[in-house]
Structure 1
Amino acid sequence: MIRKNSEYPLQPPRERGTGRAFAFALVMHALLGFFLYHGIQWQNSTPEGAEAELWTEVPDTAIPRPVPPPVPVPAAPAPPVRDEQADIALQEKKRQQQEAAREAQLAEQQRQQKLQAQQEAEAKRQQQLAAEQAAQLAAQKAAAAKQKQQQQQADKQKQQQLAEQQKQQQLKEQQLKEQQQEQQKQAEAEAQKKADAQKAAKAKAQADAAAQAKKLDAERRARLAQMQGLATGGTGSTTSDGLGKSGTGSGSGGTAASPGFNDKVQRRVHPNVIWSGPTEGLATEISVRCAPSGTILSAAIKRSSGNPEWDAAALRAVRQSDPLPQDTDGKTPASFTIRMVPAG
């Protein structure tokens, strides 16, 4: 049986029938010794002696008194007669038996040696197998550790890449946010600039309108002065006709406007209205005096809407519409009223 070794956890399988073989060998040796012992004792036993009585015939005479037979003296045992051939045969047989016993013992020793060699070879093979398994297990552990380390490195690299991507994404978002803020600032600046431009344009338009109104007022005064001069130096009929025409276009001495003239004036004036306030309930009437060519001589609020800002916007729109459209006869009425309502 192989002794256990703590360095090699794997042991060769135990051979079956070893104890039975040893028991059988012991029984055979005991039987062989028994037969050898009894065989030698049988050959060396001393042969027993033989006794014989001799009788002689007695003549027929008077019968004598019987004489008691002499007490036989036991003869000394004769020395055993030894047969040389038997001794030789016995010795030969003994030698053969000893030779057979030695051969059996040698065969048993050889068998035991062979068995031991097989067991040692099996143990060596098991040790080699255990060493190979241990080496394979160590290699597997090393490979697993290496793979784990590579996986950890890959995970770490992946995390670093993910962190870098997140950082780049945050940077892009920051840049995009800054760009949006910059664009918003630019848009606000442009809107402010546009509002300022519109405000300046509105102020300029108001100034232009005021200048135009002053100019028109000056022209009107000049024409009135001219007309007054003409009336003073001319005939009465001519003066009456001129005042009639320049007074009211729809009154005495003037010409009435056609039904579609009001729509023409509205289409001309309303595009110039600039108003972002409330529209409900606002209506302004503006009295306008024009030359036959459509040039506005004067424009004034005839009836207010109650909202001064809207009244100013409506009056400004009328003045910016100079010259006003002409009627079907090719002339603009001398005076008429425009009703202004904000577009809703």
Structure 2
Amino acid sequence: MASRLPLDRDALRPPPAPGLGRGFSLAIVAHVLLVMALSFGVSWRSKPVPALEAELWSAVPKAAAPKEQLPTDNQPEPPKPEPKPEPPKPQEPTPQEVQAQRDADIAIAKAKERKQKEEQAQREADEKRKLEQQKKDEADKKERDRKLKEEQAKKDDAAKDKAEKAKAEKARKDAEARAEAQRQENIRRIQGMAGASGGPTSTGNALKSSGPSANYAGRIKARVRPNIIYNDPGGPSNPEAEVEVRAGPDGTIVARKIVKSSGLPDFDNAVLRALDKTEILPRDTDGTVPRVMIITFRPRE
């Protein structure tokens, strides 16, 4: 037959855990034992320490000396301490020892003096060698400087001689060019005088007094100039080259040469090549072409 539950208990509430009361009792007992142990530990440490007192009669304890005992007839006398032997007195040195010590002192003094002299001589020798080395170094430096100056002077003289030679060579070439130009001028004048028709006071060199037209030289330059191939380096100067041109009756160029150089060999050669390429000169307004002409050309025209 099933047991009935009490009326005051909820049917859905879980039952209490078994042994709860026993565990609660053991916890109370453990706490009581812990309180008793703590009380015992405090009580035995709280007892007062007894105080002690002491009197000091001496800073360091000393023992008393034995009582003096007087000698009696029956008692033997105590043995007396034996006297200590006196140390031997130092013996006076003999005259030989004194003389030997004196000689030794003299020898030491002489050796010391000799060593000082040797050291002094060594120092003087070192100073002398040092001064000689300094003098030698100075002499070597002066000799090197002298050689450098001589080499520089030789270089300067060589450069000066080279410049003077170049100047003299240029002056010689200029003089030769002027002489050649004068010679050619004289030849042209002589050639012109052979068949000249001018008066006695005439200074020309043509067969007739009439010359080319005013713009004929410009026409020749206009024909030759496009054939000149030259790279002008530029500069402030614009030198001129004078060219002697000989032509046939029909204007064909039969000869040409530089009578006065411009100082630019490349430009002079370029002018000569341009004349060779031109081949034929234009006729003047009267239909003629001069047999000999002096034409000037400049790099920048």
With the shorter chain as reference, the TM-score category is 0.3 to 0.5
Higher RCO (CA 8 Å, separation ≥ 6 residues): 1
Larger helix share, 1 or 2: 1
Greater Rg by CA: 1
Tell me the TM-score normalised to structure 2 length: 0.39
Structure 1 length-normalised TM = 0.36
